[in-house]
Structure 1
Amino acid sequence: MKNNVLGLLFFSIVLLSACGDPVGEDLDHYINEELASIIDLEEGVIMEYESVVGSNYTNDKDLYIHLEEVVLPMYLDFIEQLEAINPETSEIRELHEIYISAVNTQYNAMVKLLGAIDYQDHGMVSQSNQMLSEGRAKIREFHNEMDGLIEEYNVEFDIEMNDFE
């Protein structure tokens, strides 16, 4: 009987160590499978957005058309795919919600920019820029939180996530 108890205890320890940490496993799955499968779409959105703003800005009409016909539909597709991700652990769900909030803030900023162009309202342009700044701050928060979890759970990953700027 003593051997059976020791055997059961040994088996339980081996089984538990083989299972790993649920948060670490969820983080690994979240980064290396879920985010990895959609990160190219986000990078495409960023490239398309940057192709019509800042030093690439030509005029309001081109900006408006490109935002409406290219950038926003791509970003909406990315958001839908991002929101379809459902992490298993509360720690990774909380992290994920930061990211969702960030990209929704940025999407809404771009929609506001369309309205600003429609109404030729410089105040709305300022509001849009402020919302983009808030979105970038939330993305930095997401990255900082994710980096902390990566270090805590010793997760390795192959993707590179860029801040939306």
Structure 2
Amino acid sequence: MLILSGCSGTEAAENALSKVTGKDPIQDNLLNYINEQLIPLQTEESTLVQQFNTQLDDPSIADAELHDTLKEIIPVYKDLIGRIEAIRPDTTEVRYLHELYIATANKQYNAMVQLQAAINNQDMNLVSEANEKLEEARRGDRAFNNALNDLSEAHNIVDIPSEENQ
């Protein structure tokens, strides 16, 4: 497990409040968001997406088997999205970041639902549309990770190996 921590310093990226008080509310909010809210949900989401991708990427999987997997994953993923959307970061910067995450999770979910409908209806056009949504979700994931890295860097948040990684 990876734990993130803030570093104090006088880097130009620190905001005005940080320079005056030594505290950075964005850093505090981002650390809480990552460590307490995001990591547990991302772990669960990663498991679901990996289960989906394993089925999707296996050419020997029959449509019926993929359909059964989607039937199992979709309700769990929908519940997960509800918990993701319930997160309310305190700062504007972290809220913006979280909105990127919500949008990406919803694109992934919608692609799964559309693929399930495509299998039900034997509709190759829906399969193509679902694949486009999956690609949008991948782009959204990259945008989220880039924004997370930028905001973390701007507020002096660094990776600290936890005891499990040592």
Q: TM-score, normalised by structure 2?
A: 0.80
Structure 1 counterpart of 2:98, one-letter code: H
Q: Does 1:116 align with 2:126?
A: no
Of the candidates 105, 126, 129, which is equivalent to residue 127 of structure 1?
A: 129
Give the superposition deviation at 1:139. Answer: 1.0
CA-to-partner distance for each residue in 1:86-111, whole Å, 9 max, x for gaps?
A: 10001100110011001101100110
Q: Distance in 1 between matches of 2:108 and 2:130?
A: 9
Unaligned segments of structure 1, at least 5 residues? 1-12, 160-165
Unaligned segments of structure 2, at least 5 residues? 1-17, 162-166
**2:70 aligned partner:** 67
Higher Cα radius of gyration = 1
Of the candidates 143, 146, 149, which is equivalent to residue 144 of structure 1?
A: 146
Give the superposition deviation at 1:146. Answer: 0.6
Structure 2 counterpart of 1:16, one-letter code: T
Of structures 1 and 2, the one scoring higher in RCO (CA 8 A, sep 6+) is 2
Q: Distance in 2 between matches of 1:46 and 1:25?
A: 29
Of the candidates 58, 62, 79, which is equivalent to residue 61 of structure 2?
A: 58
Q: TM-score, normalised by structure 1?
A: 0.81
Percent identity among equivalent residues? 37
**Conserved? CA contact 1:79–1:100, under 8 Å:** yes
Give the superposition deviation at 1:136. Answer: 0.9
**Conserved? CA contact 1:41–1:74, under 8 Å:** no
Higher helix fraction (1 or 2)? 1
- Structure 1 residues 1-165: aligned runs within 5 Å: 16-17=21-22, 20-55=23-58, 57-69=60-72, 71-157=73-159
Higher strand fraction (1 or 2)? 2
**Conserved? CA contact 1:51–1:57, under 8 Å:** no
